[in-house]
Amino acid sequence: MAGIMSEAMDIRILNNSDQPKLEAFLTGHRDTSMFLRSNALRVGVVYRDAPFHALYTAMFDHENIIGVIAHAWSGMVLLQCPGNLDELARKCVASSGRNVTGFAGPANQVRRAQIALDLVNAPTKMAEEEWLYALDLAELRIPAALMNGDILCRAPLPEERNLLCQWRTAYDIETLGSTDSVETRNRAADALDRQIGEANAWVAVSNGEPVSLSAFNATLPDIVQLGGIYTPPAHRGRGYAKSAVAAALIAARQRGASRAVLFTSNPSAARSYEALGFRRLGDYGLILFK
């Protein structure tokens, strides 16, 4: 495929009638397609200027999708194109007519998209190649502290919202390179409220005190993606996050999911995830432009 498309190949913007083909393709790459799959299933593939929407542009070989790139409402470009993505990336962004605020996808695809869109030297506030971890939920190792009741994990209480919003803001600053601003705090609060409203957030409690937060930033019937996991510095190193994550995964398993994925570049966090049974599969790219 390098550089040349055959006569049987075609690039076009997707509409809602294409959604079954898109889902079939993305399911074949489910560990690195969570945002693409969950957003498309949530709101469809016809773009509106509203959260979770994107303009989806796909490459077809005859009737089958072999690559897709979506330019999301936030300006992020979401990638799942194992083959030649240069023309697909340029077509997607040109068709949207909007600025690119970042990239997310398999690390090698992110690097290629930067080149294709001439954004290699664009200033960034975050440019990470994170480690991709996955776990079959049947193999989850439950921490002893959670099993014996030393740590309790539950849904957040309404009176804890302000505290947890502070935690989520601290997460965005520490992990995503955000600045401490009204915009960051509002964005963090919106994300947390959505996770709580969708029953996708859990708090670990020790001796009656909240000590760690775990959440899903994307969910599907078969797979969940962890995100927004945060433990305040004063509580770190005590295994609280492991219990919070395990509780979230137990809930996902009870809901019918069979797999979980996450991305991290933090060695300490990686060791905690490995203790739960996660195994590294590869690298995931995340770039946020200034």
Domain of residue 141 covers 133-283
Does a structural domain hold residue 127?
A: no
Residue that is last in its domain, among 70, 101, 122 = 122
Task: Tally Cβ neighbours within 10 Å of residue 95.
Answer: 15
The two three-digit tokens of residue 13, written as one number:
């913007």
Any domain includes 289: no
What Cα–Cα distance (Å) separates residue 39 from each residue in 17, 47, 71, 199, 266? Answer: 16, 11, 12, 17, 27
Residue 84 makes CB contacts below 8 A (sequence gap 6+) with: 1, 2, 3, 5, 67
Do 254 and 189 lie in one domain? The reply is yes
32 shares its domain with 105 = yes
- CATH number where 279 lies: 3.40.630.30
Assess whether 162 and 109 both reside in one domain.
no
4 belongs to a structural domain: no
Would you state the pLDDT for residue 188?
95
Based on the fold, state whether residues 38 and 116 are members of the same structural domain: yes
List the Cα angle 156/33/52 in 5-degree steps: 60
* Pair 243, 192 in one domain: yes
Mean per-residue pLDDT pooled into runs of 10, the chain (290 residues): 56 96 97 97 96 97 96 98 95 97 98 97 95 98 96 97 97 90 95 96 97 97 96 95 98 98 94 97 95
- Whether the CB-CB separation of 226 and 248 falls below 8 Å is answered with yes
Q: Is the dihedral of CA 149, 151, 152, 155 positive or negative?
A: negative
Per-residue pLDDT, 176: 85
251 in a structural domain:
yes
Q: Which helix (H) or strand (E) holds 281?
A: strand 279-289
Position 16 scores a pLDDT of: 93
Both 249 and 180 in one domain: the answer is: yes
Tell me if 288 is assigned to some domain. Answer: no
Query: Has residue 232 been placed in a domain?
Result: yes
Looking at the 3D structure of the chain, how many domains does it have? 2
Listed residues 122, 150, 165: the one ending a domain: 122
Instruction: For residue 156, give the DSSP letter.
Output: P
Q: Residue 57 is encoded by which pair of tokens?
A: 């542009």
